Amino acid sequence: MGEERPHPNPPPKGEGSHKGRGRWRIRTRHIAFAALAIAIGHVIYAILRDHVFHASPILQ
């Protein structure tokens, strides 16, 4: 445990490294929001299916 070794994959230096990282962060955030919207849509659909569509005499 004497000496510290450098990280095997150091982050790239320069201005371009931050732009790529920010792009991934934005893309990941969009995917997370899309997944959340799909999950909320499934919950709303299940509530409507169970309480609205089955309660309607027209649809039975």
Q: How would residue 43 be classed by pLDDT, with cut points 50, 70 and 90?
A: very high
Q: What is the pTM of this model?
A: 0.52
The residue with tokens 């995917």 is: 31
**Angle CA(50)–CA(53)–CA(58) in degrees, nearest 5?**
150
Question: What are the boundaries of each domain within the chain?
Answer: 29-60
Mean pLDDT on 16-33: 77
Q: What stretches of 1-60 show up as alpha helix (H) in DSSP?
A: 16-47
The residue with tokens 């920010």 is: 22
Residue 59 sits at φ, ψ, to 5 deg, of: -85, -5
